[in-house]
Chains A and B, each alone.
Chain A
Amino acid sequence: MKKILLLGVFSFLAFSLVVGAGYKVGDKAADFKLQNVDGKYVSLADFDDARGFIVVFTCNGCPYAKAYQDRIIALDKKYKAKGYPVVAINPNDVDLRSEDKLEGMKKRSDEKGFTFPYLKDAKYEVYKTYGATRTPQIYVLEKDGGELVVKYIGTIDDNYQDASAVKEAYLANAVDALLAGNDPDPNSTKAIGCTIKQK
């Protein structure tokens, strides 16, 4: 009985450590260099004119992620012009999900007409550094001097089923707040999504 309890405490601690490893709002975010569907490598440092970024962890198979990809395109078109381009990252292990290989990503990007880079987290490190657990999951970063600061973590809006029934556009509101010089409120939201697939 005591052993079970101890085991419980240990797994809770381990779990907390894993969860605690990612970014929280206010943390400084690291740049990355990942391969895009066009074969080129992309870093956030390449975007000289950006005021910040909408970093989207997404993939090819998850119905929730797919349900949001049209909305992500619309958000990119709207906010790229205002200095907040979308950068999408696919973190799924390709041994478990062959459709998430770069070829499959290119196909998805072409079919949907992605207007933003769709990068492969080939070493499965970036999503861990960020602390992403599911697809889709968003991190809004703001440039502050030479740093990137996490300003919002969470979901896109309050209705994955129907874009026309959205009442709270959490992500758009967060970026609008930043553009107006304010901090997003809420700065963190949760949503149902697919576990990032890793061995």
Chain B
Amino acid sequence: MRFGVINITGLVIIWLLSSYTHKHQPKVLTFDDFEPHLHLQNDTTYLVNFWASWCTPCVKELPAFERIGEEYRHQKVKVLLVSLDFPKQIESRLLPFLENNKIHSEVLVLNDPDANKWIDKVDPAWSGSIPATLIYQMGDRTFREGVYTYEELKQIVEQKIK
């Protein structure tokens, strides 16, 4: 009986926790599940930025992506921040980072350790260092390994949404 009560309490706590974290937690995807985000066939311009909260140049660059996302929120432009944070550090590091920096763009976590199998599928020019960004509208694709400024992003977005 006592076991049953503990069990039910436990389940309720798990349920409460999971419904709480569900709202706040970015999706964690393998590359196969993530790959369609690189090939969406519609007239939206996607800015797909590969980053991590421990990567200093990535963190410096984030405000530029946030600003673009905000500025073009009524147009067909979407920023997707693909975090390569370690899965063990989602709770302890990534979530507090997103909260403290008030990140509004959509964030998902790519958890697929054998990057050799998928880096070329993002872009063959990518050697694997971050930050790296793919900006695309269907077949019109621009890839860079390295940091973008806000002005550079704006120029590319303007060119693609025309």
Contacts and interface: CB of A to CB of B under 8 A. Distances in A.
Contact of B119 (A1, A159, A161, A190): A190
Interface string A159-199: 11110010110100000000000000010011111111100
A152 to B, nearest CB: 12
Contact of B130 (A159, A160, A192, A197): A192
Interface stretch (B5-13, B14-22, B36-44, B108-116): B108-116
A19 B131 CA distance: 16
Interface string B61-78: 000000000000000000
A159 B114 contact: yes
Contact of B128 (A1, A186, A193): A193
B129 A133 contact: yes
A14 to B, nearest CB: 12
Contact of A190 (B55, B56, B86, B115): B115
Interface string A1-19: 1001000100000010001
A168 to B, nearest CB: 7
Interface residues of A, number: 29
A167 B113 CA distance: 11
A196 B129 contact: yes
Interface in B28-68: 50, 52, 54-57
A160 B119 contact: no
A154 interface: yes
Chief secondary structure at chain A's binding surface: loop
Contacts of A161: 86-88, 113
A4 B159 contact: yes
A134 interface: yes
A113 interface: no
B125 A192 contact: no
Contacts of B116: 154-155, 158, 170, 186, 189-191
Contact of A195 (B54, B115, B130): B130
Interface of B: 50, 52, 54-57, 84, 86-88, 113-117, 119-120, 125-131, 142, 145-146, 155, 159
23 contacts: A4-B155, A4-B159, A8-B142, A19-B125, A19-B127, A63-B52, A133-B129, A161-B86, A161-B87, A162-B113, A165-B113, A168-B114, A170-B116, A190-B115, A190-B126, A190-B128, A191-B116, A191-B128, A192-B119, A193-B128, A194-B55, A194-B129, A195-B131
Closest 10 CB pairs of A and B: A134-B129, A158-B114, A195-B129, A190-B119, A189-B116, A159-B113, A133-B127, A190-B128, A192-B115, A191-B115
Given A134-B128, A191-B119, A194-B130, 5 more contacts: A19-B125, A155-B115, A190-B128, A191-B128, A194-B129
